[in-house]
Structure 1
Amino acid sequence: MNDRFSLDGRVALITGGGTGIGRGAALVLAEHGADVVLAGRRRDPLESTAKEIEVLGRRALAVSADVSTAAGCQELVDKAVAEFGRVDILVNSAGGAETKSIKRWTEEEFGDVFALNLGSVWNLSRAASVHMLEQGKGTIVNISSGASLLAMPQAAPYAAAKAAVNNLTGSMASAWAQKGIRVNAIAVGAVRAPTLTDELARYNLEPDSVAGTNGLGRLGEPDEIGYGVLFFASDASSFCSGQTLYMHGAPGPAGV
């Protein structure tokens, strides 16, 4: 049965791969045999994660990339294929946004949030699918958010973008189901990652202050989400596509 989780000989491209959920997923996939392309805006955390992957005996490539643009996404996929010759797994983990009331968002900020959280999924998936279709096989895992299921007045553009990711996941899964590409999403709750901790720090709040929004009463850890990614990336989920898995430690007291 463990062979169903083996990623030997496969190449994973992971955005936001230097920190948080992206880093957690990268290490879990590498532990199960994948070579990994790590993409993000900051070079240092990418290089650090790449070294951890190499210690595991897998190859790693760190690529500085801006996935909020179509050109940046295409360039990233091109670099991955040039280095490793293929892309078998795409993990769209890049994302995030600040919190503020609806009236305070500018038109430019609204567009930036959608470009990062939704545009990157659209552009990277389309670029990677070209190679996956040629191979006749591939998997795409989109990191969504529990915010996509709720009214979020303090993060409305982010929540809307993530809700769109859930829908796009189903549309792409349907389009490519008989062509060998599976597409799934994971909607995460509060996880101990910079996208959460940095935002809480702006308000002088401790990360555990939001632990109660998860039913288990604690924050999720990046590697826990990484194992969800492993399920969707591997043959263990060979009969699963177009799904959004909610990983938030059970609903919290307020139904979060």
Structure 2
Amino acid sequence: MNGKVLIVTGALGALGRVVTATALARGARVAGLDHASSQAKPTPNRIELRGVDLTDPAQAQKAVDAVAAHFGSLDALVNIAGGFAFEPVAEGDGKTWQRMYAMNVLTALNASRAALGHISKSSTGHIVNVGALGALQAGAGMGPYAASKSGVHRLTEALAAEWKGKVTVNAVLPSIIDTKVNRASMPNADFSKWVKPEELAEVILFLASDAASAVTGALIAVPGRV
């Protein structure tokens, strides 16, 4: 990753912070995009663009162009921005489905479309999306979330086919990620079986590296110890 330029969306979340820190430790230059509006001091290898609504194509394009201009290039995009909702289908609200689609599919779509022109100029360009193992077969209450993450999977496959030979596009499919929020919502669960952010970051950064140049269109399960 030494010298590579990465964009990480959802950079202030639990997984985004770990991916960013790991990439920086390996010599990458990282731009973090997030919807949060607070400010962060830039460093030579890291900038953060906050208050960016990636559901808006124009905002996504402006942010990505600013990153490419700042660093002079762009090698990889890691789409982590997203959200979760648990809601039964029959008793649920259609707005939840729209919100999950916007947060999970549109953010990845808009960031990817904004970045492709820049990434395709790299000798080894990569896009890595975060799907979900639970989207392969939705359980009760998982309809809106699973449907949106399934959309991320199909987006990954379509982009990989369309940009084959120019940009690799892959997705990781984690089970439950071991975060403070997930622990609080499921206090009786066996946390030792969950996927640690550090473990998932390793897979993500492999797919964003030159070592994964022959891998594209893959949906890689990261189930932890379940």
Q: Same fold (TM over 0.5)?
A: yes
Q: How many residues align?
A: 225
Matches within 5 A, 1:71-150: 71-150=58-137
| CA–CA separation in structure 1 for the residues paired with 2:58 and 2:190 | 38
SS where residue 164 of structure 2 aligns?
Answer: helix
Secondary structure, in 3 states, of the residue corresponding to 2:190?
A: helix
8 Å CA contact 2:85, 2:96 repeated in 1: no
CA deviation vs aligned residue, 1:5-59 (integer Å, no higher than 9, x gap): xx12211100111121111111111111111111112245x84xx78xx5xxx61
Q: Residues 226 and 150 of structure 1: is their aligned pair in 2 closer, same or farther, counting only changes over 3 Å? A: same
What is the alpha-carbon distance in structure 1 between the residues aligned to residue 15 and residue 48 of structure 2?
16
SS at match of 1:74: helix
RMSD: 2.1
Point out where structure 1 has 5 or more consecutive residues left out of the alignment: 1-6
150-159 vs 104-113, greater mean Cα deviation:
104-113
Sequence identity (%): 28
Q: Secondary structure at the match of 2:121?
A: helix
In structure 1, the residue matched to 2:189 is: 210
8 Å Cα contact 1:144-1:166 kept in structure 2: yes
Q: Identify unmatched segments of 5+ residues in structure 2.
A: none
- CA 152–73 in structure 1, closer or farther in 2 if over 3 Å, else same: farther
User: What is aligned with 1:241?
Assistant: 216
Q: Is the 8 A contact 1:12 1:34 kept in 2?
A: yes
Find the counterpart in structure 2 of residue 222 from structure 1: 197
Residue 184 (structure 1) shift: 0.7
Structure 2 equivalent of residue 3 of structure 1? none
Give the deviation of 1:249 after TM superposition.
Answer: 1.7
Equivalent AA in structure 2 for residue 210 of structure 1: A
Which structure shows the bigger proportion of residues in helix conformation? Answer: 1
Partner Cα separation in structure 2 for residue 67 and residue 194 of structure 1: 25
Return closer, same or farther for 1:105/1:66 CA change in 2, 3 Å cut-off. farther
Matches within 5 A, 1:1-256: 7-43=1-37, 47=40, 59-64=45-50, 65-179=52-166, 181-193=167-179, 196-197=182-183, 200=185, 205-206=186-187, 209-211=188-190, 217-250=192-225, 252=226
Moved over 6 A (4+): none
Structure 2: distance between partners of 1:12 and 1:134: 14
Conserved 8 A contact 2:124-2:210: no
Residues in 2 aligned to 1:161 and 1:194: alpha-carbon distance in whole angstroms: 23
C-alpha distance in structure 1 between counterparts of 2:103 and 2:180, whole Å:
16
CA contact (8 A) 2:131 2:153 kept: yes
TM normalised by structure 2 equals: 0.90
